[in-house]
Amino acid sequence: MDAANVAYDPVVRLSGLTRRFGPLTAVDGLELEVRRGELFGIVGPDGAGKTTTLRILAGVLPPSGGRAEVLGVDVGADPEGAKPRVAYMAQRFGLYGDLTVAENLRFYADLYRVPRAARPERLERLYRFSNLGPFTDRLAANLSGGMKQKLALSCALIHEPELLLLDEPTFGVDPISRRELWAILREMNERGVTIVLTTSYLDEAERCHRVAMLHQGRILDLDTPARLQATMHGSLLAVRARPARAARDALRATPGVRRASLFGQALHVVVDEAADGEVLVRAALGSMEVDGVEVIRPSLEDVFIERVGADV
């Protein structure tokens, strides 16, 4: 280990990490480091290898090749070594529906051998974060989706891990609970907990310090959201035109247009040059009804679609 790497204090270090399932290579030679205190996002299409990577980090799935170091422990050789300092919240986290909120928390506190003396203060803090305090006696089965996720997160945090691994933590959660979950994550992160999470929602990825875009088991790109957004080729226009699909098809057939896709009620159109973009678009659309053309800042999702090269 050289001096430069020590200074970074990586909490996660992957080198050549590979995982095969029969003929399928789910994770294909990943190289990356997550630094202490980072909030790190992994995004990618279905089957990109996001969940597999997290499971390897959590020590629940051995790698087929390469090396994964978590908090200095080679988790391939010693899957149990880092576990006391890591929390892993899988997509289907193991809450017990027939136990109450308080009983679930006690169960995880026992599992992770949290000293009894330390429990009241931690529970108080977790209840405050999660707003679950008034519901300690409610069965987990009777909680809403958002509350279940907050309870799962609280259970994952009961042993004060240094590293928190979250697989799609906001899956199926309404916007209000989603904000609460993110507030908890940010506060944990400010307290020094390193967080690695996967998400299908690129607006969530924009809240991370750095983001790795995964595709077919490989890293397409890894950087801060702002820098990723700055690397998009061409300029992005939001075009409001009717009929939308015919407009999209006409734009796709136009030289100078790199990409055109439906996005909500508008079309997102990537052109080589912003300067003559509007002229180009209006000419391509001919007699179609065009309500507006404006240059917009690409979101991480636009960058993602470009990188994955999907024709949507």
Partner 1 sequence: MSEAAIQARELTRRFGDFVAVDHATFQVQTGQVFGFLGPNGAGKTTTIRMLTGLLPPSSGVARVAGLDPAAESRRLRGRLGYMSQLFSLYGDLTVAENIDLFGGLYEVTGERFRARRAWVLEMAGLEGQEKRLTAELPLGWKQRLALGCAVLHEPPILFLDEPTSGVDPVARRAFWDLIDALAEGGTTVLVSTHYMEEAEYCNRLLLMNRGRVIAEGTPGELRARLETPDASLEDVFVELVRREGGAVVG
Chain residues binding partner 1 by CB under 8 A are 44-48, 134-135, 138, 142-147, 168, 171-179, 200-203, 243-245, 261-265, 301, 304-305, 308, 310, 312
**In whole angstroms, how close is the CB of 174 to partner 1 at the nearest point?**
4
Please, which residue, 16 or 145, has the CB nearer to partner 1?
A: 145
**In whole angstroms, how close is the CB of 251 to partner 1 at the nearest point?**
14
**In whole angstroms, how close is the CB of 275 to partner 1 at the nearest point?**
25
- Phi (first) and psi of residue 20, to 5 degrees: -110, 145
Which of 90-97's residues contact partners 24+ apart within 8 Å by CB, and which partners? 90/55, 90/58, 90/167, 91/51, 91/167, 91/168, 91/171, 93/152, 93/155, 93/156, 95/140, 95/148, 95/151, 95/152, 95/155, 96/140, 97/139, 97/140, 97/141
Please, which residue, 174 or 190, has the CB nearer to partner 1?
A: 174
Please, which residue, 174 or 187, has the CB nearer to partner 1?
A: 174
Contact 69, 56 (CB under 8 A): no
Instruction: Give CA–CA dist 257/254, Å, rounded.
Output: 6
**In whole angstroms, how close is the CB of 283 to partner 1 at the nearest point?**
24
**In whole angstroms, how close is the CB of 212 to partner 1 at the nearest point?**
14
Please, which residue, 132 or 193, has the CB nearer to partner 1?
A: 132
Please, which residue, 2 or 311, has the CB nearer to partner 1?
A: 311
**In whole angstroms, how close is the CB of 245 to partner 1 at the nearest point?**
6
Please, which residue, 109 or 266, has the CB nearer to partner 1?
A: 266
Please, which residue, 46 or 121, has the CB nearer to partner 1?
A: 46
Please, which residue, 191 or 297, has the CB nearer to partner 1?
A: 297
**In whole angstroms, how close is the CB of 297 to partner 1 at the nearest point?**
11
**In whole angstroms, how close is the CB of 137 to partner 1 at the nearest point?**
13
**In whole angstroms, how close is the CB of 84 to partner 1 at the nearest point?**
30
Please, which residue, 115 or 264, has the CB nearer to partner 1?
A: 264
